[in-house]
Structure 1
Amino acid sequence: MSQNIIYADATKLAELIRSREVSSVEVVKAHLDRIQAVDPKINAIVTLAGDALERAEAADAAVRAGDELGVLHGVPFTVKDSIDTAGVPTQRGSPIFKGRTPDADATSVARMKKAGGILLAKTNLPEFSYWIESDNLLTGRSNNPWDLTRTPGGSSGGESAAIAAGMSPIGLGTDLAISVRGPAAQTGISSIKATHGRVPMTGIYPRAPRRFWHVGPMARSIRDLALAFSQLAGPDGQDAFATSTVQFDAGIGRQPDRQLRVGWLVEPGFGPIDPEVAKVVEAAAEALKSLGVHVEPVRIPALEKDFALDVFNRIHVMEMKRAFAEATDGHEDQMYKMSRTMLSLPDTSMADFVEAEQAAERLRDGFAEYFQRFDALITPVLPLPAHKHGQEEFVINGRTVDATYLQGATVPLNVTGLPGISMRFGTSREGMPINVQVVGSWLAESTILAVATQLESISTVREMRPEL
């Protein structure tokens, strides 16, 4: 039963708890046992919530009493350690914040709890939630459960590793340029970065640059993403970017009443892409076509005119440098490599900053034109599968690039605010997961969840699990 529990998705666990086929205590204990068994190899968990079993007992009592139950009643969830959790340390991947314990939950955490979820643990991340590998001076380096010599990604790498390894059914990560979608791809799970502002960033660090940061669910099924997103979305009166009152219906099983039009794109516009990854993107496109979706290869001229990664770098550095400088002032001896690197970067000139902002507008316009003709777009998530720890240079499709290029296909969605799903659809020759990205127009999360559900229905890799 324990093995069935740890790899059941959150939706199924909620059903089992509600029907009293399994207790919340059994579910929480199974995940705690799994953490004890495998986390010493992975180092995804940085802090356990000490009251999880007590809350599970209360959840079971509520079921027995016939109380009204939330959609995630009694289900454990994990949270990246940059997201505030009341009474549980949130240390931001730095000894500067060691032992920091918030008084209040972030809005996203509060909403997961309101839905009945039980906070199980906090998960690892890079220093200040900023890099493509989850490693820091305080809680160390996380490993990929598929291959311990490889990274589970960043910045939500601890979260992705925990879910992939069966230590958690569902959790919360944050995304500045890659950070819920990339780690999901490196560990073969699913995640969604919704339209910017759909889920409030209240109670999450860092906030700069606020117009690029997102928080979103990570899980092992598309229906879990839909369920969590239905609980997370909406204004909270504190995050001024979270203003959309458009409601989201978690009933993603219903198919649209017309034929969907989907484009697929590998190159150009995202930087170099490994041929193995390109084949998986094309396979996903062909799979949709076999289901009756209109699918065709496309190009988006705006991505070719303005390389989104360059645009992002020119805009965000000035704001992030200031945030890092404030955090590390007087603590220079506790800085790790990313804060040192960030503070060493040259300032962006005002002319370059203005031009980059205008380029971001051109990218938004280019996507707006695309979505006049298509409902969704299938792209790579990463240009190659999960890489070895510490790699800072890659040869991709014959071109040598630095590690920032891993963000080439994800960062356009942060610059423009578009929603995107990362989901597994293939496996590399070395046995590592390969995900595709399903991109939609602004506020069109229901559309991309429907497309992703179709892909998941014919996927041959969904049930694959790492051997630990």
Structure 2
Amino acid sequence: MTTDLTRFDATELAELIRTRRASSVEVVQAHLHRIKAVNSKINAVVTVADGALDAARAADEELAAGAEVGPLHGVPFTVKDSFDTAGVLTQRGSPIFAGRIPDTDATSVARMKHAGAILLAKTNLPEFAYWIESDNLLTGRTNNPWDLERSAGGSSGGESAAIAAGMSPLGIGSDLSISLRGPAADTGIVALKPTHGRIPMTGAWPREPRRDWHAGPMARTIRDLALAYSLLAGPDGADGFSTVPREFDAGVGASPDRPVRVGWLVDSGLGPIDAEVVATVQQAADALQGPGIRVDAVSIPALERDNPLELFTRQHVMEMKPVMQEVTAGHEDQMFMYSRTMLAAPDTSVKDYVLAEQGIERLRDGFAEYFQQYDALLLPVTTIFAHAHGLTQFTLDGRTMEAFHVSSTTVPFNLTGLPALSMRFGTSSDGMPIGVQLAASWHAESTILYIATLLESLSPVRDQHPTL
């Protein structure tokens, strides 16, 4: 084919391969060429998987022989380097794990392969996947393909940058507080953090705090998210948080009986938010108004009563520090600055930890009440769009905010385990992507995928890509 295969989404690539209009070898080779052409500027890919072309040849041979094939047969995918990949380096962004090669695949990786997808590469992350920017001492810093002087986010920043730059059509990331949705917003792609436990975290690291970590797909189109989610979801018999059958879904879609009800907010306890981000959410809310959708401005009292960022910090320090101390003992000179900062954080007292747990329970109750009235919530993904490298503080509405405030809009859905999706819907005055976030009730992934599909069709920024 003369068309650039790196600009097709995974769904169309699978169709091209299945109908023999393109070979898997052609598709994989195109993405390898793209990595070679642009990765030196971005540093999103940290390891190219040996054997990707051999796997593509085998995929083409199977198709020629008339074998039954999976929905992603012959399509390449990439994986954040915190997920184990059998026979392929998994170094977790740290010199402490340099040269580490697992014997088995993480559950999510194995499921992608079972669907016929071909592991192409591993992507960059902050050390141990614990920060809002993807930078570390082992594999360095990832740059945003829209502006190399800005961050691609963290902790799935390498994955988001690789997909945005056409080095991969589809990938797997993880999310502790912002790590799927924030990077997606920073680079103009889409990402889904499903209900906690929907996709097993088996073979992904770290696991602490286990109640907050989520695995999820990243892509350039909503239909790719939906496809990948359908393949990745469901118990694996190893992750005790993953118990709900894949087939179960509590969502709602178009119905003649009543409209889908969407509430939107840009405040309600979230703190200051950049004016251009606010305007983008309002634009998305206006775009959704129409047949079958009712959109209202809302507030959520639970978000105003208990500050989710404060709850997260008190819980996170208590549960994260022991495992980090164990892993880094004797390797303190190999730690990146952000890991040092987290280890230096004051311990949470038992009393404050219990109070944080009670606050999280109130937050869950508040969202349960909200979702009795509405099917989805529309709000910002991040409080600012893609920022400069090395952010420690920023100013909004005359207030100086610590860097982690960028995640005040995403953290609530990790604490509560609610599904949430990030997608681009706007552009800043200086040309950077701006995203919006959709959340729904527990196990209602189909609701936000349905609404996101509508928004995608209405988006003023469809099919825009960075120029490299």
Does TM, normalized by the shorter one, top 0.5? yes
1:28 aligns with 2:28: yes
Shift of 1:253: 12
Give the percent of matched residue pairs that are identical in Structure 1 and Structure 2.
Answer: 65
Which residue in 1 is equivalent to 2:286? 286
Deviations 1:127-168 (CA, angstroms, capped at 9, x unpaired): 000100000000000000000000000000000000000000
Structure-2 separation of matches of 1:3 and 1:120: 20
Shift of 1:317: 0.6
Deviations 1:262-300 (CA, angstroms, capped at 9, x unpaired): 000100221211110001001111111035410000000
Which residue in 1 is equivalent to 2:235? 235
Deviations 1:351-404 (CA, angstroms, capped at 9, x unpaired): 100000000000000000000000000000011110011121111233210101
> Is the 8 Å Cα contact of residues 427 and 433 (structure 1) preserved in structure 2?
yes
1:277 aligns with 2:280: no
Deviations 1:142-195 (CA, angstroms, capped at 9, x unpaired): 000000000000000000000000000000000000000000000000000000
Shift of 1:462: 1.8
Shift of 1:99: 0.5
Give the 3-state SS of the residue equivalent to 1:290 in structure 2: coil
Shift of 1:65: 1.1
1:58 aligns with 2:58: yes
> Is the 8 Å Cα contact of residues 248 and 446 (structure 1) preserved in structure 2?
no
Structure-2 separation of matches of 1:64 and 1:248: 36
Shift of 1:256: 3.9
Shift of 1:414: 0.2
Give the 3-state SS of the residue equivalent to 2:4 in structure 1: helix
Deviations 1:188-237 (CA, angstroms, capped at 9, x unpaired): 00000000000000001101110000010000000000000000000000
Shift of 1:63: 1.0
Structure-2 separation of matches of 1:279 and 1:248: 36
1:255 aligns with 2:254: yes
Deviations 1:291-331 (CA, angstroms, capped at 9, x unpaired): 54100000000000001111010101121111111111111
Q: Which runs of 4+ in 1 moved over 6 A?
A: none
Structure-2 separation of matches of 1:315 and 1:147: 35
Structure-1 separation of matches of 2:255 and 2:181: 25
Matches within 5 A, 1:350-365: 350-365=350-365
Which residue in 1 is equivalent to 2:245? 245
Matches within 5 A, 1:324-339: 324-339=324-339
Counterparts in 2 of 1:4 and 1:254: CA distance versus 1, 3 Å: farther
Give the 3-state SS of the residue equivalent to 2:464 in structure 1: coil
Amino acid at match of 2:84: D
Shift of 1:2: 6.1
Structure-2 separation of matches of 1:307 and 1:427: 29
> Is the 8 Å Cα contact of residues 275 and 397 (structure 1) preserved in structure 2?
no
Shift of 1:254: 7.1
Matches within 5 A, 1:19-418: 19-247=19-247, 255-257=254-256, 258-418=258-418
TM score, norm. by length of structure 1: 0.98
Report how many residues are paired: 466
Counterparts in 2 of 1:16 and 1:209: CA distance versus 1, 3 Å: same
Structure-2 separation of matches of 1:449 and 1:430: 29
Give the 3-state SS of the residue equivalent to 1:366 in structure 2: helix
Counterparts in 2 of 1:296 and 1:100: CA distance versus 1, 3 Å: same
TM score, norm. by length of structure 2: 0.98
Structure-2 separation of matches of 1:100 and 1:181: 28
Deviations 1:395-454 (CA, angstroms, capped at 9, x unpaired): 123321010101100000000000000000000000000000010000000011000000
Counterparts in 2 of 1:29 and 1:401: CA distance versus 1, 3 Å: same
* Unaligned segments of structure 2, at least 5 residues: none
Matches within 5 A, 1:447-458: 447-458=447-458
Shift of 1:16: 0.5
Amino acid at match of 2:167: M
Give the 3-state SS of the residue equivalent to 2:237 in structure 1: coil
Structure-2 separation of matches of 1:117 and 1:321: 36
Shift of 1:255: 3.5
Structure-1 separation of matches of 2:84 and 2:59: 23
Give the 3-state SS of the residue equivalent to 2:289 in structure 1: helix
Shift of 1:248: 5.8
Q: After superposing the two structures, state which structure 1 stretch, 43-52 or 263-272, moved more.
A: 263-272
Q: After superposing the two structures, state which structure 1 stretch, 264-273 or 434-443, moved more.
A: 264-273
Q: After superposing the two structures, state which structure 1 stretch, 209-218 or 324-333, moved more.
A: 324-333
Shift of 1:3: 5.2
Amino acid at match of 1:403: A
> Is the 8 Å Cα contact of residues 252 and 375 (structure 2) preserved in structure 1?
no
Counterparts in 2 of 1:223 and 1:265: CA distance versus 1, 3 Å: same
Amino acid at match of 1:90: T
> Is the 8 Å Cα contact of residues 277 and 384 (structure 1) preserved in structure 2?
yes
Counterparts in 2 of 1:74 and 1:253: CA distance versus 1, 3 Å: farther
Give the 3-state SS of the residue equivalent to 1:140 in structure 2: coil
> Is the 8 Å Cα contact of residues 17 and 73 (structure 2) preserved in structure 1?
yes
Amino acid at match of 2:110: A
> Is the 8 Å Cα contact of residues 254 and 292 (structure 2) preserved in structure 1?
no
Give the 3-state SS of the residue equivalent to 1:225 in structure 2: helix
Structure-2 separation of matches of 1:123 and 1:3: 26
Structure-1 separation of matches of 2:10 and 2:388: 30
> Is the 8 Å Cα contact of residues 230 and 248 (structure 1) preserved in structure 2?
no
Amino acid at match of 1:36: K
